[in-house]
Structure 1
Amino acid sequence: MISIQPSFSTIMRNYVQETWALYRRLIIQTQRRPATFIAGLFQPMLWLILFGALFQNAPVELFSISKSYRHFLTPGILVFTTFTGALNAGLPLMFDREFGFFNRLLVAPLTTRQSIIMASALFISTITLIQTLFVLGLMSLWEIKLHLITFVITIVILVLLTCALTMCSISASLILPGHIELLALIFIINLPLLFASTALVPFSFMPMWLQVLASINPLSYTIEAIRSIYSSVDWTWSTTVVETIWGTFSLSEVILLLVILNFMLGIIAGYCITIRVR
C-alpha cells in the first residue's frame, strides 16, 4: 500500500482550520455566558479608581516622572488585568477534561494538538486586546495620550505576556487533577505576584528582599517597559526601560525575553499534552 504524505501547505491549512474551530468555540462560550467577560472589563477600572483615589495624595514625583499616581498606576493595572485573564485560561480546558470533551479532542484526527494551545492563546489575547482598548480609551479622557507606535508596542508586549501566561495556565490545567486545585493555585499566586512587582511602587521603594523577587518577576519587566514608552516621547528600541538589581534592560531586550519565555512555556505545554495523551 502506497502512503501519500500530505504537503506542507495542506498541513498548515488543516492546522489553521483546527485552531479557528477551537477558537470560535471559546468565543461562542463567551457569548452565551458573558458575565466573566463583562467583569473583566470593569475590574481594571475599579482598580484604577480605588487605588488611584487611595494614593492620590502620594508624592509621586519622588519616585516617578508620571503626572499623578493614576498615571503611574495604569501600566500596572493593564498588566495585572492581562495576568489575571491569562491565569484563568486553563479553566476551560480543565472543565473540558472533567466533562469528557478533552478526551474527544485527543482521539480526534487533529493535524497537531498544538492547535488546542494556540486556540486558547488567541482567545485570551483577543479578550486582553478588548480590555486594553477599553482601559486606554477611558484613560485617554483623563491623562494618557498614546502615539500610534506606542500603542502598537504596548499591545505587542501585552499579547506576548498573555500568550506566555496562557501556556503556563494550560500546563497547570493538564497536570493538576481538577479545577479546585487549579483555582487554589490561581488564588495563591495571583496577589503575591502583583505585590512582588512594580505595579504599585517602583523598585526603589521596596526592601531588598522584595526587590530580588520583583527583579525575577516577568510582570515587572512588562510593566516598566510599558510605563517607560508612554511616559517618554523620544524612546527608541535601545532605550533603557527596566533597571533591576541584576542590571538594565532595553525595550528590545524585554521583548526578546518575552519571546524566549513564550517559546519555553510553549514547549512545556506541548509536552504536558503529550504526557496527558499517554
Structure 2
Amino acid sequence: MSQNQTNTEITIADQTKKFLVKSMYGFQTILAYGLGQRLGIFEYLYGKAQKIEEKVTSISFTLEELSDNLNLDLRYLDAWVHILIACGIFEIDESRERCAKTAPYIYDLLIDHKGMFYVGQMIAGFYSMASNQDIFVEGIKTGQISTINDIPAAEYKGGQLMSARFGSIVERLFAKRCKEDRKKILKETANIIEIGCGYGFNLEGWMKKYKKAKFVGIDIDPNGIDHAKQLIGENNWSDRVELYNIPLEDYITKTDTKFDMAILNMVLHEMNPDDKYRLSVL
C-alpha cells in the first residue's frame, strides 16, 4: 500500500468520533434547540434583542429572567442551558452572576428569524421529524402513503417555514438572473401563480417584492390556506391575491388566466406522481 493510501485509510477511531461523538452533539443540539423553540425561549430572546437600538451580536440572560418571564422551572432550565453550553449555542457571561449569553454568530443563525443567515427553522424541522418517526416506520413496514393530515398542523407549519427560507434565496437568485424585460413586467402588471403556497410565508416574500403584481396561490392543505388568508388579511392584500384549496390538476381546468410566472414551491413530486419513475432516479 502506498503512503497516500495509508494516510487516507479510515480507522475505527475516525468512525467512533463520527458516529458517537459528533452524532451525540448533533442530536443533543437538535433536541435542545427544538425544546427551546417550543418553550418560547428563543422568541423571548429575539424580542429582547428588538429593544436594543445598536446592532445585536449577542444576547445575555439569566435563568431567573427566563423563569420569571416564561413561567418555567429553574431546575429544568439549568439543565437545558448546560446542554446548550456544551453544544456551543450558549456560553458563560462572566459580567454577571448566573448569566449566560449566545455564542458568536448564534443570534444571527438561530434567533433572528428575519435575518438572511437564519437557519433555526431548519434545525427545528429535523426536531419535528424525530417526533414523527412512527409515521416513517409505519410507511416502511406497510407501504402506506401518509398524507398532510397525518402530520400535526403546527409541525407541518414548521416545514413550510423551512421552505420559505429557501424561497427567499430563490427569489434573490431569480432577481439577479432575470432578464430586464421580464423584470419590468413583474414589477408592473404581472400575473403570478404559486403552486404549493402552503402557509403563505413564501408568497408573502414575493408579494412584498413585486408590489403591483397580481397573485394566485393554490395548495392541497386546508390549514395552510387558512393561515395564508390570515397573512393576506394582516397585510391588506386581499385585492392582489386569490387563494384556493385545490390540487393543480383541478385548478387548471377552472381558469383561463395566463400567468407571466409560476412558482413551484416544493411540489415537483406532484408533477409526476408515478412511483416507478421516481424510484428510477435512485
Same fold (TM over 0.5): no
TM-score, normalized by length of structure 2?
0.26
Structure index of larger Rg: 2
Question: Quick one: higher RCO (CA 8 Å, sep 6+), 1 or 2?
Answer: 1
User: Structure 1 or 2: larger helix share?
Assistant: 1
Which of the pair is proportionally richer in strand?
Answer: 2
TM (norm. structure 1) is 0.27
